[in-house]
Amino acid sequence: MFVALCFSEHGILQLSNVEKSEKATQMSIKIIEIFVSMREFLINNLNSKIDIEEIKRRLDKNVELLFSYLDELIDKQDNKIERTKIGFKK
């Protein structure tokens, strides 16, 4: 059976207060920096995904509008009324 033990950023900070050696303090600081980097990466990645979804939503609306215009044009061509021709007749 595999049990994964992990610490949160705050747990690491508390651990660094308990461990007083220089090496433990340096490791705790490094781990906290990694947590901060991971948080920033996730926030930036999430913002990018939200922006992409917003662009897709806008494009979907524009594509729907385009198809509705095309449908109107096709309907106009299907219901074309013959006009009387004017001009010189033989």
Global pTM reads: 0.44
Element (H, E) at 41: helix 22-78
Residue 35: which pLDDT band, with cuts at 50, 70 and 90? confident
Distances from the Cα of 56 to the Cα of 52, 53, 59, 62, angstroms: 6, 5, 5, 10
What pLDDT, in 10s, does the model give residues 48-81?
888 878 877 887 777 788 888 888 887 777 776 7
Say if residue 4's pLDDT is above 80. Answer: no
